[in-house]
Structure 1
Amino acid sequence: MPELERLTAQILASSKYREIAPDLVRRIGAQELEKRRSLKEAVKATKNKLHQVGGAYQQTKLNYEKSLEMLRETAVSHPNFRTTCHQLMQAHASTRERLLMLDEFYQTILANLPPIHTVLDLACGLNPLAYPWLPLPKEVQFTAVDIYSDMLNFIQAFFEIARINGRTQQRDIIGNPPTDEFDLILLLKTLPCLEQVDKNAAANLVGSLNGRYLLISYPTQSLGGRGKGMVENYTQQFQALANGRNWRVQRFEFATELAFLVQTELRLREIM
């Protein structure tokens, strides 16, 4: 068996990594095999990179079966359903950081958009649970993409419970980005994670997407709570990403998140 297949099989046999998209494991594994002296070192380095990309954000893993029971029990009562969604989003670091400003975040950023019929949420984590806070029409089609198959199964069940026109995809968005057209594409604190794998990943991904609007955000503090210089650093990174693109940009700064709402060339051609 070639070394890359042995590495991939070893990692996917681990309970911690077995739900991750195999294409991503192979992509990172191939990079690490080129840099490391042995298969053992490459396996260790690949696991470390996978932790940086996704595992670090799931310090408290949801009991998906119990969570779905909670959602079903409260689905008949809209206020209680939102409370349950709010509670469950605490299990993922990215959505947990947004909870204190959840009402303000989406209402402020998306308030003046034209009708949105299709949404793509890339590296979604548990963010689809924020659907009750999104100022979107009830019939909107929502596509959630992530690397974890068990999380996506949970999200698909959530869509069905909440009667959302939603679907999920397990995908390595670095090597296989979606190219269908969407009215709104969410890249919430996603690009810095992708650049842990490939320093050109952000630019390559954004160049492949076909969205009329992009909502791109960055954390204003690390998972450990340090925030010095992060707003300035990510502002510069976004400006470099936007340079040379025909974009109109609105900037929003919240306590834990820096966000940019982009009208892309696709949208600008439609209104000109």
Structure 2
Amino acid sequence: MHDDPRLEELVKQVRASRKYSAISEALVRRIGAAELCKRATLQDAVKATKKTLHQIAGLYLANAHPPYDAWLRQIIQAPDDTARRAVLRSIMNHHTSTRERLPILDAFYARVLADLGPVRSVLDLACGLNPLSLPWMPLAAGATYHAVDIYEDLAGFLRAALAALGVAGKAEARDVITDCPTDAADVALLLKALPCLEQLDKAAGAAILDTINARCIVVSFPTRTVGGRQVGMRENYAARFAAMIADRPWRVERIEFVGELAFRLTR
């Protein structure tokens, strides 16, 4: 269906929308091709593609076009570490995933990165604004950071933000389901991302875990809905994840936080 002549027009229409213009073209193309197989008309497929993109990404952003330039200036101009951390917290409040983690931020990385030995490299998949949590991560001096998300403008902002924070690394827009990085890392982060990825492909979680080349993977799940309701998500995700990794050679540690359930997988 990738040869469907309507696909180019679908991609053009979806990316012409201000809300979706910065999303990885590869991802729009893949979702669009699938929708063209299922929908009666091009416009139905365009509408369905946009709906899917909203559910997996747009829903979590407070602003469809965040003020990245202004945010970067705030980071650069912060006079000291305390002020910079306050700025970073303020920025992270604009994405649902990182906003939910702010109350536990001090404890979260101190716990999930504890006792791993020096962490010299981090791979952060479907990262959102999480790389701005770097000052809270107990990383080794000179550690590198590789951030991956589906938004091209976010990737550009994160590249500049990493430099402003004095961290060597890179940020890029990729569809991790079909193009997951394979470069080696001490720690890979896959935070609250699997439910979204598995909306696109039910086998995505297992495939990504098998592709990641890291000695430790931290996977987490939300335990409340975006609206804040508790509807058995902690138990449901825990059971599904246990089934996913049952036959894989990982040592698994479950770590509980308020609002977030984490698993640390080590080889």
Of 90-99 and 147-156, the range deviating more from structure 2: 147-156
Partner Cα separation in structure 2 for residue 23 and residue 204 of structure 1: 18
* Deviation digits for residues 79-135 of structure 1 (CA, Å, limit 9, x no counterpart): 111111011100000000000010011101211111111110001100000000001
1:69 corresponds to which of 65, 73, 76? 73
1:27 aligns with 2:46: no
CA distance in 2, matches of 1:104, 1:33: 45
Structure 2 distance, partners of 1:210, 1:36, is: 37
> Is the contact between residue 251 and residue 266 of structure 2 (CA under 8 Å) also seen in structure 1?
yes
What is the rounded CA distance, in whole Å, between the counterparts of 2:253 and 2:208 in structure 1?
20
Which letter maps to 2:72? L
Residue 63 of structure 1: CA displacement?
1.0
The structural deviation recorded for 1:169 is 1.4
CA distance in structure 1 between the aligned counterparts of 2:142 and 2:232, rounded to whole angstroms? 41
Q: Give the one of 174, 178, 182 matched to 1:175.
A: 178
Are residues 1:192 and 2:195 paired? yes
Q: How do residues 135-150 of structure 1 correspond to structure 2 at under 5 angstroms?
A: 135-150=138-153
For 1:159-209, what per-residue CA distance to the aligned partner results, in whole angstroms no more than 9, with x for missing partners?
A: 111111121111000111111111100000011010111111111111111
**Would you identify which runs of 4 or more consecutive aligned residues in structure 1 move more than 6 Å?**
none
Out of 259, 262, 266, the position equivalent to 1:259 is 262
* SS of residue matched to 2:34: helix
- 8 A contact 1:138–1:164 mirrored in 2: no
Which deviations, in whole Å up to 9, do the C-alpha atoms of 1:20-67 show, x marking residues without a partner?
A: 000100111111111111100000000000011110000235311111
1:221 counterpart residue number = 224
- What CA distance in whole angstroms lies between the structure 1 residues aligned with 2:41 and 2:115? 54
Q: Secondary structure at the match of 1:32?
A: helix
SS in 2 for 1:174: coil
Q: Is the 8 A contact 2:56 2:196 kept in 1?
A: yes
Aligned mates of 1:181, 1:111 — CA distance in 2? 20
Q: Distance in 1 between matches of 2:13 and 2:43?
A: 10
Match among 10, 29, 33 for residue 13 of structure 2:
10
Structure 1 residue aligned with 2:100, among 88, 97, 100?
97
Does the 8 Å CA contact 2:252/2:266 hold for their aligned counterparts? Answer: yes
- In the alignment, which residue of structure 1 is the partner of 2:252? 249
TM-score (norm 2): 0.96
Do the aligned partners of 2:156 and 2:172 also contact (CA within 8 Å) in 1?
no
Letter of the structure 2 residue corresponding to residue 124 of structure 1: C
Q: Give 1:210 shift.
A: 1.1
Q: 1:16 offset after TM fit, Å?
A: 0.8
**In the alignment, which of 106, 109, 117 is matched to residue 106 of structure 1?**
109
Asked whether the 8 Å contact 1:181–1:211 carries over to 2, the reply is yes
Describe the SS at the equivalent of 1:212: strand
Deviations 1:230-262 (A, max 9, x none): 011000111011110011011111111000011
Report the residue type matching 1:188 in the other structure.
L
Matched ranges for 1:75-90 at <5 A: 76-90=79-93
Root-mean-square deviation (CA, aligned residues, Å) is 1.1
Q: Is 1:230 equivalent to 2:237 in the alignment?
A: no
Distance in 1 separating the partners of 2:228 and 2:202: 24
TM, length-normalised to structure 1: 0.94
| Percent of aligned pairs with the same amino acid | 47
Give how far 1:225 is off.
Answer: 1.2
Report the counterpart of residue 126 of structure 1 in structure 2.
129
CA contact (8 A) 2:120 2:141 kept: no
What 5-or-longer segments of structure 1 have no aligned partner?
A: 265-272
Deviates more, 1:11-20 or 1:56-65: 56-65
| Separation (CA, whole Å) in 2 of partners of 1:156 and 1:210 | 22
